[in-house]
Structure formats: structure tokens, C-alpha cells
Chains A and B, each alone.
Chain A
């Protein structure tokens, strides 16, 4: 008889909170916990899902470690589907550590990353997509990604995937029918083909849309990124600090102060945005500065919005004009800030940005914290930060990867005109991809990579 090991781990956050939660799951969960609590009988008699107050004593040590509450869960009515115990202690890392160590002495072993969820999956408590959604829920930073993950957790996107599967199956059946029984009955080829290809095309469009939605949602994986750029000494770092509301970057009257890129998260209307301060762009012989400038250029390429800072008291240089031109040509959204209006009127500089680039004048040194500045930036970021809730099947890079492969297969199928067996080849591959997406056919490697992303105790 094989015994499934009982696992134990800290399930709550690591840094000094009021409480810490320790999870235990497996056939030994109840007796391991009982062995470490003072009122053993009371714990044994307690009904599942009721809370009891105990003292935790490490085995072999009669000293009371901490006062805790504990809850039992009876299999299969628990998160993992096994017998479980959850112990709540005071949020000291030392106490939590000692409690877990005590449980190890009583026959438990450390849980691997995501092992609680993995067991829940293996015991049929949640599907693979749900297990993933649990992780997305934990990791989501925006309301939209949270909403999306919740829909996924409730199985909301499974019907869509099942519908794709059904449609592909029907297409395959028609194709196979036409191949095997071409001379019999009413497989009037031309007609079937047109219908099939329309169907394939429709699916292609649908999957494309889902992939595009994903790029609109800046959720789990990547935030909306705003790069602050300009020539040296115009006040980029000053703006960066101003928006952060604390002195993060060094501000100095010497040009070329910022050498490396610095990024921080700010919240614009509850949406996390990554703000990046960069080295001023100029022609320089300094090797370090050169590297910094290269970094700036790279940042510009992957920014979602660029804020170009210039100062009112300097003459417009060709350099500045070129920078702006390049950004517009690359199709990256750009807004302008004219700084140091205390020294000079911004009028002369307005021409630099032209009509296409909205700009705003400030004097960061003399008039800090201008709420209009925030509004200005928000106004131009907003259209790019998806605000309307767009539910998307694609929640993470695994999904996106499969969806892109799916699209490739369908594109292959759609290109074929005559060779039905080749179309069938692509459709079969597509069907396998959907099964992979749904987690109905999973390989060990896929499972490993999914649950590796989880934290211990989840």
C-alpha cells in the first residue's frame, strides 16, 4: 500500500504581518497537527470546518510556542481533496518556522512549489485552467486581470474552448468523410470545401481577436510603460521624482547626471504604470554615457508612451527634432513637457512639438505638485491603458503560446486548396493544441512548468 506523503508549508506572506497561516495536507494531516497541540482530544473531537483555540507545542519540547487557532478539513471536502489542517499563528517568521519544523518532526514533509494546487488538480478538485487561474488571481495587479482570472477560475472560458474543439471536430469529420467516401453519397466536394474553409477562417479570426485582446490587457505579465526622455539637463529626473512624489533619482545641475535607466511603479487611476527615467540623449565620447544612451533608445522602442521633456530656456536643437520625428515614425505615442518656464516663456519651444504632439508647460523647480500635470499625463495614457473590461481567454504566456500555434495551424489549413489530407493534418494538430490548452491531455513537463510558477504553500 502506497502512502501519499503529508505536506506542510507556510501559506501566507513572508514579511511581518499580524498573522501567519500554515497549511497541512495529506493522510497524516490531522494526527500530525494533534501531536503538536496542547488539547489533543479537543482537536480530535472538533468537527471539521470549526475553529478551535490551542497552544502549539513542538514535539519533545513542553514549552508553549504560541497561541494558535486551527481548523480541520475532511477529505474530500478541502482545497486539495485530502485531509487538511490550517493553523493560524502570530505573524512572526520565527514562530511560523518553528511550527512548520514541529510538523516535519511529526511525519510531514515540505511542500514543493504549487503542490497544494497540484494535488487539488490531481484529485479532481479543480481543472488545470482553474489551477492556473488561482495563480493569476494571486499575481494580478489590475482590476481587469483580476476580473479575468476570476472568470477563468469559475470555468468561464471553457465553453469557448469547447466550442472551438467541437467546430474543429466537425470540420475534421467532414474532411475525413470526403476523403474516405469521396465516390459515395453526397459529398459534393466544391460545396463542402467552401463551407469548411469559411468555418476555418471564422475560427482564425476569433483566435486572432483573443490574441489581440491579450496585448491590450496589461495585467499579470507587463505593466503599461511610460519612458521619460529628452536631451541632458532638461529636468527628466525632476519630472520622474515629481510623479513618484519622492526623491528617487539624483537631480543635479551638471548635464549627464542620469546614466542608467531607473524604473518605478506609480498608480494612475488605480492602474499600475511603470515609469522610467532615462539618460539624456546627446552626442558624447564618454563610454558609460554612451551605454546609457543606447539603453534609452532601447527603452523607447518598447515603451507604451513616451514623455519628451525639453526646457524653455534652451534653443531648439536638431537633435531634439530628430528624436521626436523618429518616435512619431515608429508609431509610438508621445507627449511633450516644456520645463523651466520660470526662466523663459515656453512659446519659443512650442514649435518643437508641432501640432501632432500635445504638450504641457511646467516649472518643476518653482511650482511642484501640479495636479493638472497628472491629469495631462493620464488623459494621454488612458486610451492606451485598456479600461473597459475585455474578457480574454488568454491569461498567461502558456495560453498565448498555444493560441499562436493554433493560429499557425489554421492558417496552414486555410492555405491548402486541394489536398484535403493536408488540411486534415493541420486540423488534427489544432485539436491537440486545444486539448493541451484545456489540460485534458497534459504531459508531465507541462504540469511541472505550470506548478513551478506557483509559490510554496499554494
Chain B
């Protein structure tokens, strides 16, 4: 057997990698432990969220699956942060877990270029500098031009419930053993991380009258740019809170927590903390908010979002029963924590290819990230680049001002991570530009140029952008007279003013502008784009100018043979790091863990000082 692209792992990273590589008519193999569980959501039954929703839209614009799948199998949609500016909106949907998984499988299987193989991969073989083949637990060897690794939380996975622990890739599934060792033998270093999940509740035992209902949006926004059908909410989420009794139970049982008894040593996600962490780190805070989310339409199982825990089962029961509405609730599956191997992503190129082994790509949780969207985003990029390599074509890299996926991969490959990495809007210095409304304009042309998007679809989207441009230029030309404006809402004008200038004002809505100029309002999507474009224009320019300045600085070369010992004002520790790494640019220097921007400032000045000295000594200045 020989394939162009072999993807190991049927999680969210693996799915996208296999799917996108198949778009280039390559022979693709998806190897996974259990075919029925391809597309399984290991943790919560939701896709999207703030910053994460943008990633889903970016995946979609690059030709990925996730957006279309969630539009098809979502049962509750809500645009988060819609009370704030459009730059920080984030779409989030509850999925019907089972239908989502089945739907993904159906979509993949409809793609005839993708073959499937069930089993555990236990080793990798290289030939020369490049990957050569994979070895299955059955002993079967599969030749591969390129390989994408996406084993998620499975590598030497160890689950914890209370003080008892058992091997598993996630609860109910076996771990993947042997593969880490084989990868380490290629000279790639591994580390260990931890994450956790809350207990699932039997919905039939919940008293909803004591909880607050959270409805979806009246008019849901789709994730995918291809979705044309109207989305419908078919379920409700419920909000409740922990209380002082809950917190007391946690405090009383910390000695039985694997996290606090010292049994688990690896770091967990700082931003998806367990309830133990929340109570210890943030205190009572008048209760921590919990969401009770349906796992699907055909099941009574519900996900208790916010109560991730690895306390023993009996304590979990007490915890749950201390919460309003859950007094009689029964746990269906206990919460647990899992420890697993990951590979420090500093060992990767910005294409997600290994620096050590050619044609070997890493994607998803094994790169130290957390979350379906983060995994899927890497999957698309790794898949595209594996395909490009297999075809001998140039790869795709996304920069920090092009996409959240660019920010994600840049952070991972230049700074590395010591804890499960989750995306935030604040990680993007171009937050105002990397909005969820304009993902297609940012990324679709790139994917199209490389052949991952159909011509028909590209043309269709171009029409939308052209319409937007026409409207923008119309607004830039059209004046509004004070008579037509004043008294139609807050803020007045004294002289005729351009519509685009008026729309810049925070309090002015696009609807009011179009009423004043008596023009037909474009559809909701176009309106959002126009408004965001105009309102953020000035800010984005400043953001970009600042970034360009930084970029220029970062790219400044450190002269060959520069003596870091001579740099006074650096800690000895920092000097040692520079001497060991010999960075060639300031950016490379900054990417060394533990090096601060202040160190870079000092370094930069010293480099300039040396150049200055050269100038001075050439001059013959009299007194």
C-alpha cells in the first residue's frame, strides 16, 4: 500500500487534514483507532465561541469541513459578544454530538479519494531525511509520501478519577502506546500535558424550573460561507451556579483530588480550569456560573459546562447534587482528567512540518493546543501543506495579520507552549482586522489560488465582495443633508456630511444611514461587513503601522559573530541563552523562551552601538 498523504487520527485535526488533501485528487489514507468514532467530540458538545468561532470561519474559507458540519448538525446557535463591536463577535453552536459525528463520517466517505484503515499506529519509519512509512499494531506497513500526525490526547493517555487512574486515550477508548517512543527516536522531544472534562448528567433527573433558560439567537448566523439554508434552534441551554456548599465539598475533598494531592504533575489549561482550580484560585465569587447543555436530540445526556473535575465519583455526585436544579440529578458519565504526551511545537516550521523529518506534519492537541477549533485549524493547514509537498508545490503559510490560524501557528512555532494553548482574541494584535465577518475575503483567494476551492464557489463569493465594494464606494460619495439626518436619531450635523463619515460614529447604525439616503438596505451579511469596514478603518491603519514598525525591528539582523558577552545590562542567564542559540535576528532572539521585550531593546541598542562605533572611528573629529 502506498499513499500520497497518510493522516493518523480521526479527530478534528485529522478529519480536516484528510479532507483538504483529498481536494487535490491525491491518494489519501485516514488511519484511526475506531472508524465509528471519527469526528467524535471528546469534551463539550459545542463548536465555536469567542475567537474560536473566527477560526471555524477561517477553516471554512480555506475549504475545510467544520463550518458546514456544525451548520448542518447544530441545535442551538448564539452569536457571543453581540453587544460589543463586531470585531469581537464570536459565533457558538451546540452540536448534536452523535449526528455531528455521523455527518462528518458521511461527508468524508462521500469523498472517494479518501481511504480508511482502522487500527493503532505504533511506529514511524524514515528514509534519509524524509518520512517513509507507518507501522500498524497489526504489523502492516503503509508507505507514505507525507504523514500528518493528529493523535490528540491518546499518546500514553492516562485518565484520572479521584486517586484511581487507568490507561485510556479518552474515557472508554484505549491509549496509543509505543508511538511516542518511535517519534522520540527521530529526535523529536515530547512533553506531558493534562486536561479534564466535567460529568455528564441524565437530563431526565434535572429540575429545570430552578434554572434559567438560555435560548439561541432568533436569527442564527451561519458558520459556513456556503450555507444558504435558514438555521434553526432546536434545543435550549440552562444556566445555574455553584454555591458555598459546593465549594465546601471541594475544599473538604482536595486530598482526594489527583490535581491537589500531587498525583498529576503536568500542567493543565489555565483558561479552562477545573472547578477545583476555580475555587482555589478565584475563591467563592458568589458562585461560579454553570451551563447545562444538551448533548443531542436523541439522548437525555447533558454536559455540565464549567464543572470540569477529577474528584472521586462519590464527591462528584455530592458536588452535582449541591447545585440548584441538580438536587436529584444522576451522573451518567463521571468527569475525569487525562494526561497525555505532546510535542513541543517549537520543533515545527510555520507549515507545521517537522524541522527534523521531511514530509512529517504535526497537527492538533499533540502540538500542545486545546480545543476542537484550534485542532481543526491546524489540521487544514497541515493537510494543505502535506498535499503541497506530495505534489512538489509551494506550501501555504498564514501570517499574524492574515488569520487567527496564523497567530496560532506563529505562537506555537516561535514561542512554544508549556500548557494547553487556547485561542483568545487578545492574542491577535490585529484583532480589529481578523474579524469573523471577513474571513472569506482574507483567506478564500489564497485557498483558491492553491486549488482547494472550486471555481464556481469562488465566483459566487466574489459577487458578494463586489456588492460590498459598490456599497462602500456609494457611501463614500453620497452626502447626507442635515435636514435628512437631524432628529432621526442621536447626534446631529450642521453641514452636508458624507455617509461613510457619519457611519464611523459609534452610535450611528447602517440602517439609519440607508434610510437617510433612501437606498435599499443590502442583506444582513453585507450590512455587517460594510459597517465593520467603515467603523474600524482608522483603527486598523494604526494597528498595521505599529505592527509594521515592530516587524521591521524584528527582522533586524544580529551581525554574524556578535559577542553577546559584551552586552552589559543583560542577565547572565539571558546571555547564556543567546550564546547557546546564536539567534540571527531580533525576532529569533525574542522567540527564545524566557527572553523579554526589554532584553530585545537592550540587544537592539547594543547592535546599533557597534555600528555607531564603526562610524565614529572612521571620522576624524577635532575637539
A residues near B (Cβ < 8 Å) are 1-2, 4-5, 9-10, 76, 81, 96-97, 100-101, 109-110, 112, 122-124, 176, 179-186, 189, 416-422, 424-425, 429, 432, 440-444, 447
Task: Pick out which of these stretches binds chain A: B10-18, B110-118, B193-201, B600-608.
Answer: B600-608
B85-A422 in contact (CB<8A):
yes
* Closest A-B pairs by Cβ, 3 of them: A419-B85, A124-B569, A123-B568
The listed residue with most A CB atoms (<10 A of its CB), out of B84, B285, B507, B569, is B84
Q: Is the CB of A5 within 8 A of B568?
A: no
Selected from A76, A100, A109, A123, the residue in CB contact (under 8 A) with B623 is A100
Rounded to whole angstroms, the CA-CA distance of A4 and B613 in the bound complex is 8
B135 within 8 Å of A (CB atoms): no
Chain A residues with Cβ below 8 Å from B546 are 432
- Binary A-proximity of B402-428 (CB < 8 A = 1, otherwise 0): 000000000000000000000011100
Q: How far is the CB of B523 from chain A (nearest CB, A)?
A: 23
Contact of A101 among B431, B604, B605, B623 (CB under 8 A): B623
A432 to B601, CA, bound (A): 13
Number of interface residues of B (CB under 8 A): 49
CA distance A96 to B85 in the complex (A): 67
Which of B288, B506, B543 has the most C-beta atoms of chain A within 10 angstroms of its own C-beta?
Answer: B506
Residues of B near A81 (CB, < 8 A) are 568
Closest residue of chain A to B613 (Cβ to Cβ) is A5
With both beta carbons as reference points, the residue of chain B lying nearest to A5 in the complex is identified as B613
Given contacts A110-B621, A124-B569, A425-B543, contact A179 B605 (CB under 8 A): no
- The reply to whether B601 and A176 form a contact with Cβ atoms under 8 Å apart is no
A417-B507, A419-B84 provided; 18 other pairs, C-beta below 8 A? A2-B610, A5-B613, A5-B617, A9-B623, A109-B617, A110-B623, A112-B616, A122-B606, A123-B568, A124-B568, A185-B289, A416-B506, A417-B506, A418-B84, A418-B506, A420-B88, A443-B604, A444-B604
Partner of B568, one of A109, A122, A416, A443: A122
Name the A residues within 8 Å of B80 (CB-CB).
182-183
Residues of B within 8 A of A (CB): 50-51, 80-81, 83-85, 87-88, 285-286, 288-289, 306, 424-426, 431-432, 506-507, 539, 542-543, 546, 553, 562-563, 566, 568-569, 597-598, 601-602, 604-606, 608-610, 612-613, 616-617, 619, 621-623
Contacts A421-B431, A442-B601 given; does A180 touch B424 at CB 8 Å: yes
Residues of A within 8 A of B604 (CB): 443-444
B243 to chain A, nearest CB (A): 14
Q: How far is the CA of A72 from the CA of B512 in the complex (A)?
A: 77
Whether the pair B84, A182 counts as a contact (CB closer than 8 A) is yes
Which of chain B's residues has its CB closest to A175's CB?
A: B426
CB distance from B436 to the nearest CB of A (A): 13
Residue from B426, B507, B616 with most neighbouring chain A CB atoms (10 Å): B426
Q: Which residues of B contact A419 (CB under 8 A)?
A: 84-85, 87, 506
How far does the Cβ of B330 sit from chain A's closest Cβ, in whole Å?
A: 26
Which residues of chain A come closer than 8 Å to B608, judged between CB atoms? 444
A310 to B608, CA, bound (A): 61
Task: Give the distance in Å from the alpha carbon of A182 to the alpha carbon of B78 in the complex.
Answer: 13
Are A440 and B87 in contact, with the CB atoms below 8 A?
Answer: no
State A444–B603 Cα separation when bound (angstroms).
11
Task: Please tell me which one of the listed residues B85, B432, B569, B616 contacts residue A418 in the complex, with CB atoms under 8 A apart.
Answer: B85
Given known A-B contacts A110-B621, A182-B84, A425-B432, A2 and B566 have beta carbons under 8 A apart: yes
Please report the C-alpha to C-alpha distance between residue A2 and residue B604 in the assembled complex, in whole angstroms: 16
- For A10, the chain B residues whose CB sits under 8 A away are 623
Q: Give me 15 A-to-B residue pairs in the complex whose CB atoms sit less than 8 angstroms apart, sorted by A's number.
A: A5-B616, A110-B622, A122-B569, A122-B605, A123-B569, A176-B424, A180-B51, A186-B286, A419-B85, A420-B84, A420-B85, A421-B84, A421-B87, A440-B601, A441-B598
Known interface pairs A184-B289, A185-B288, A416-B506. Does A179 touch B425 (Cβ–Cβ under 8 Å)? yes
Inter-chain CA distance A447–B546, complex, in Å, is: 19
Whether B613 contacts A422 by the Cβ 8 Å rule is: no
Min Cβ gap B82→A in Å is 10
User: In the complex the two chains form, is A179's CB within 8 Å of B286's CB?
Assistant: no
In Å, the complex CA distance between A442 and B424 comes to 28
Cross-interface CB contact of A189 among B83, B507, B601, cutoff 8 Å = B83
Would you call B306 and A176 a contact (CB within 8 A)?
no
Please indicate the chain B residues that have their CB under 8 angstroms from the CB of A432 in the complex.
546
